[in-house]
Amino acid sequence: MLAAAFILPPIMALKSTIFKADLQVADMDRHYYDSHGLTIARHPSETDERMMMRILAFALHADPALTFGKGLSADDEPDLWQKDLTGAVDLWIEVGQPDEKRIMKACGRAARVVVYSYSPTSHIWWSQTTARVDRAKNLEVYQLPSETSQALALLAQRTMQVQCTIQDAQAWITAGDASIGINLTTLKGPTEGR
């Protein structure tokens, strides 16, 4: 008797969804005023909330040299980064709850590392991570209330017009009729004399 052969269909990789955002930044603290046309590839496993956190992180650090990394698609790239003309990494930005090995690796590669955590479990993640990353002098960690990140997720559209205003260390994100105040809690601030 012959065994039946089963032929499985090829597994198709899901493609990223492309989002476009016209981001206007008015950062009075840094005297930075510019418009950025952003193209964001949202990985199939990425939520609107996480994608909007990446846009927020871009707005808070807006610079012509700041770019999106491969994020969830690559282990060796951050969500955003900024390199100098020699290719050295000046700024490495992660959103979410990266593990301490990833954070310490980033701290070894970049002059400045910033993490934006937004999950309801951020306090648990940070209590488990803080002792292991405390020695990193170039690390900053901020927490955004999950209610705020969820409100940002509601702004996600395939084509977006987003404004970010920053003044006196306070930020506001506006899209359409919605305006969201951004209140970050500093879990680990910049170290003096880095």
Q: pLDDT tens for residues 66-96?
A: 999 876 656 678 999 999 999 999 999 999 9
Q: Check: CATH 3.10.640.10 for 17-188?
A: yes
> Domain-by-domain residue ranges, the chain?
17-188
Stretch (H or E) spanning 68: strand 66-68
Q: How far apart are CA 95 and CA 38, in angstroms?
A: 17
The one-letter amino acid code at 89 reads: V
Q: How far apart are CA 133 and CA 101, in angstroms?
A: 9
29-38: string of b/e by CB count within 10 Å (b at 16+)?
A: eeeeeeebeb
pLDDT confidence of residue 190: 85
Give me the percent of the chain exceeding a pLDDT of 90: 80
Residue by residue, DSSP assigns 96-137 as S---HHHHHHHHHHEEEEEEEE-STTHHHHHHHHHHHHTT-T
pTM confidence score? 0.89
pLDDT bin (cut points 50, 70, 90) of residue 16 is confident
pLDDT reading at 13 higher than 90: no
pLDDT confidence of residue 70: 76
- Bridge partners, 189 (sequence order): none
pLDDT confidence of residue 145: 96
